[in-house]
Amino acid sequence: MKLKIGNEKMDMLKFKNLGNEREKIINSSYTDPVKYDYKLNELVNIIHPKKIKVVVSKIIVENLETKTFVLKPVKGVMPNFKAGQYIVLDVFKNNHVYKRSYSISSSPKDLDSYQITVKKVRNGIVSNYLLNEVKENMEFTIHGPFGEFTYNKIRDCHDVLALVGGSGITPIMSLARAINDQIEDFNLTIIYGENEEKELIFKKELDELASKNEKISVNYVLSDEKSSVYETGLISKEMISKYEVGKYSYFVCGPIHFYHHLNEIFKELDVPNKYIRHDIYKENEIELHHIEHTLKVITNDEEITIPCYEDEALSQAMEEANIDAPRRCLVGVCGYCRSKLISGKIKTDETCIREADKNYNYIHPCVSYPLSDVTIKLAK
C-alpha cells in the first residue's frame, strides 16, 4: 500500500517542517514572564485553605459541661462549608500539639465565624483545656472544613431522620440551622438521646426551630432519667420503625457504641445501606488493658522509639511523645495519617484502607492499637 493524501506527493520537507513550524510559533510568541495567577487555582485556596488563623471571639456556656466557642478568622471570612462538616483544631499545651476534630455547629449561612461546641470528656486533655482554660481573644489555627457527613439531594431522601447520641448533636444542629436559613432543603426529624435532660445541648433553639419551621421536628430520649415529658431508655427499634424504611435517610451521629447499637436495629429493620450515613466519634477509652509496648516511628529524618499501650491508638502515642505525625479525622476515615506498618502486630480498622494499600501493609494509626512492639513509617 502506498498512501496518497489529496494531490500531495510524499513530501519529506513537510515532515521536517513539523519541528520548524513549532519553532516559528515559539519565536513569535510574547516574551512576558509566565503568569501563574489562574482564577480557579486561587479559588482552591479560598474554598480549601491550608489553614485558618482564628480568634475566640465569644464563649457561650451551653450547660454545666458544654461550651460553644465562636471562632472568627483573623483575616477575611471563613470558607463556605456544607452543614455536617468538621474542622481540626490545633491546641498547643505543655509543649505538645494536640489536634482534635470538631463538627461545626453553626449555620453555613454565617461565614463571619464558625462555632464549635465542646463537651467535657472524662480524662480529655484537650476538652478540659478548652472548657477550663481557654478565654476570649485567644488565637488558634484550624484546618478544614472536611468531611462527608452532609446532605446530598441526589443521594438522600427528602426526609431525614437524625439519630443523635449526646454531643453528636453538633453537626445536626448545623443541618437544622441550614434548613432554617434556607441553605438546605429537606425535612429533618431529630431523635436526640442523652443521659439526663440537663445535659441536652441547644434544647431551647431546637424547640424554637421545631415550632416555627415545619421542616424540623425534634424528640428527646433520656436514658438515665425518668420523665413524663420525654421518652426514656435507649433509642429503640420501636421509635425508629415509626418512620417507614425506604422513605427516610438515617443520619447517625454519636459515640461508636451508639452507632453499633443502631446498626443492630437497622439490621433488624432491614434498612439498606443506601439510607444510612454516619459520623462517629471515639470517646477516650479508659481503664483498658494498660499493657506497654514500644512503638518505633521512622520518619525521613530519624527513628524515634516511644512507649505505646494496648489501649492507646498509635496516633495518640505519637501525640503524647510530641511526634508531629499527620492526623486529622481520628476515626480512620479520612486517610490523612496513612502510614506503613513495618513490623509488629496491631488491632486495626481496615474499612477505609485502599485494597492496593493492604498489599503493602498501610494502616491508619489513628485506629490502630499495638498488640506487640510495633514499627511504622510515616509519610515523610
Partner 1 sequence: MNYDAIVIGAGNGGLIASLTLQKKGKKVLLLESHNTVGGVATSFIRGRFEFEASLHELCGFSNVLQEGEVYKLFKNLDLLDKVKMQDINETFHVISLDNKEEYTMPVGVENFINKMEEYVPNSKESMTSFFQLCEEIEEALQYLNDCHGKVDVNVLKEKYYNFMICASYSLEKVLESLKMPKKAREILSTYWVYLGSPSTEISFVHYASMIYSYVKLHPTISLKKSHELSMAIYEEFLKSNGEAKLLTTVNKIIVEDNEVKGVITSDGKTYYAKIVIANVSPNLVYGKLIEKDKVPKKARQLTNARILGARGICVYLGLNKSPEELGLKNYSYFIYHTLDSKKEFERMKKLKNDNMVGVVINNAVPNASPKGTTILYLTGLLFSDIFSNIANKDNYFELKDAIAQNFIEVFEEATNTNISDAIEEIEVATPLTFARYTNHPDGVIYGYLAKKSDNLLPRMMNKDAEEYIKGLYFAGGFANRLDGYSSTYKSGEMVALEALDKEGGK
Q: Does 379 bind partner 1 (CB under 8 A)?
A: yes
Interface with partner 1 (CB under 8 A), residue from 148, 268, 292, 303: 148
268, amino acid identity:
E
* CA dihedral (299, 304, 305, 306) positive or negative: negative
Q: Does 270 bind partner 1 (CB under 8 A)?
A: no
Q: Would you give the DSSP letter of residue 360?
A: T
Minimum CB distance to partner 1, residue 182 (Å): 13
Burial of 350 (0-12, 13-18, 19+ CB in 10 A): middle
Select 39 or 212, whichever has its Cβ closest to partner 1: 39
> Scanning residues 60 to 119, which ones bind partner 1 (CB under 8 A)?
79-80, 82
Give the span between the Cα atoms of 1 and 195, in whole angstroms: 85
Select 75 or 380, whichever has its Cβ closest to partner 1: 380
Stretch that binds partner 1, among 46-54, 94-102, 120-128, 194-202 (CB under 8 A): 46-54
Select 203 or 338, whichever has its Cβ closest to partner 1: 338
Minimum CB distance to partner 1, residue 98 (Å): 19
Stretch that binds partner 1, among 55-63, 136-144, 152-160, 203-211 (CB under 8 A): 152-160
Minimum CB distance to partner 1, residue 33 (Å): 5
Instruction: Give the residue carrying C-alpha cell 421536628.
Output: 217
Q: How many residues bind partner 1 (CB under 8 A)?
A: 64
Select 58 or 358, whichever has its Cβ closest to partner 1: 358
Nearest of 310, 273, 317, 311 to residue 296 by alpha carbon: 317
Interface with partner 1 (CB under 8 A), residue from 145, 166, 326, 370: 326
DSSP symbols for 99-163: EEEEEB-S-TT--S-EEEEEE--TT-HHHHHHHHT--TT-EEEEEEEE---S--TTTS-SEEEEE
| Grid coordinates belonging to 295 | 512503638
Nearest of 145, 42, 37 to residue 89 by alpha carbon: 145
Angle between helices 203-212 and 169-180 (to 10 degrees): 30
Select 81 or 202, whichever has its Cβ closest to partner 1: 81
Footprint of partner 1 (CB under 8 A): 1-6, 10-12, 14-15, 17-19, 21-23, 25-27, 29-36, 38-41, 43-44, 46-48, 79-80, 82, 148, 152-155, 272-274, 300, 326, 335-336, 338, 351-357, 359-360, 379-380
